[in-house]
């Protein structure tokens, strides 16, 4: 195995770990938003500032997650695993 292949395998492993961390963060934010958007709560009691902040973080994290998945796909293609 040549040096370049080893580099790409290392990058792929790091990106897979990054993707897993991002996925867990997305799941946590999604659950938190769901809790704050309690359908049984009156509209005026909803903490929309918190929901907005969490949704903004969720969108940023999701965008980074999608970029990471794209990088994983590219690395797999270079390594001939796709």
34 inside domain? no
What Å distances lie between residue 45 and 29, 30, 57, 72, CA to CA? 20, 20, 22, 42
Q: Which domain holds residue 82?
A: 47-82
77 inside domain? yes
pTM score of the predicted model: 0.86
Q: How far apart are CA 20 and CA 42, in angstroms?
A: 36
Looking at the structure of the chain, the number of domains it has is: 1
30 inside domain? no
Q: How far apart are CA 65 and CA 51, in angstroms?
A: 20
pLDDT tens per residue across all 82 residues of the chain: 688 888 889 999 999 999 999 999 999 999 999 999 999 999 999 999 999 999 999 999 999 999 999 999 999 998 887 6
């Amino acid at each position: 195995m040549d040096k370049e292949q080893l580099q790409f395998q290392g990058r792929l492993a790091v990106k897979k770990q990054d993707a897993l961390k991002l996925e867990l963060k997305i799941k946590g934010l999604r659950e938190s938003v769901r809790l704050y958007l309690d359908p049984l709560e009156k509209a005026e009691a909803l903490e929309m500032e918190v929901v907005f902040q969490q949704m903004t973080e969720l969108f940023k994290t999701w965008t980074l997650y999608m970029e990471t998945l794209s990088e994983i796909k590219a690395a797999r293609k270079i390594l001939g695993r796709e």
